[in-house]
Structure 1
């Protein structure tokens, strides 16, 4: 039986070129601002993961089912209706989300339509918490 392979892998694609493909001017501007926030918090450079995810840092995972690959520690993607923020769960995340502002949760993603809808200081705290938790979980 063939092993599943992760389609979302780090690429050499240019992050700025990708964000510049976002048609909506506000969303494009917000995309660059989210990159700045994540770079400030993580101290890491933005990298493309697959065709549409901007990630920071990476870790190697191996699931109980035998699937393995690499993934970013924190990431986001400018989707058509909102930004999907990939921020892992940790103690205190729920309390911060209550202070974030207008957002939705689905699965492990936090969705925001635009930065003006949220408190960016709280967003930075969310990014930091997720980044620190992911680094702790995925040492090696």
Structure 2
């Protein structure tokens, strides 16, 4: 199986400029937060994901690929925050994050201004830590 979501050469700022004003501002704020926590520069992954760093993975099935160590997507309906649930200590922090829902690998929030950004910073740092051994 070919990996569908890969890094692109599209400038992050160019992507953010295509969003409505609120999502663009939230995206810019998240870029600053993720950059501060990770020390990495943002890269577009596919058409709408902004990732920081990357790590290699391989499943028991043999499927392998690369994925951002920390990432988000400022989608129209909700912000998708990737990898925040992967660290064993994430549960109590997620309880304090603010209004959100959770999927398999995503935390979804409708508005950034309703989240506790200090808690979000901690979650991004934990996500970054979990993927450190497999960073490429």
Secondary structure of residue in 1 paired with 2:131: helix
Q: Which has the larger radius of gyration?
A: 1
Q: Check conservation: 1:5, 1:68, Cα contact below 8 A.
A: no
Q: Say whether residues 1:27 and 2:23 are aligned partners.
A: yes
C-alpha RMSD of the superposition: 1.2
Alignment counterpart, residue 71 of structure 2, candidates 75, 78, 82 = 75
Deviation at 1:121, TM superposition (A): 0.5
Does residue 53 of the first structure (1) align with residue 49 of the second (2)?
yes
Query: Which structure 1 segments of 5+ residues have no match?
Result: none
- CA distance, structure 2, for counterparts of residue 79 and residue 115 of structure 1: 12
Q: Report how far residue 61 of structure 1 moved.
A: 1.7
SS in 1 for 2:50: strand
Q: Name segments (4+ residues, structure 1) moved above 6 Å.
A: none
Taking the aligned partners of 2:79 and 2:117, their CA distance within structure 1 comes to 14
Q: 2:61 aligns with which of 65, 70, 79?
A: 65
TM-score by length of 2: 0.94
Contact 1:60 1:70 in 2 (8 A): yes
How many correspondences in the alignment? 135
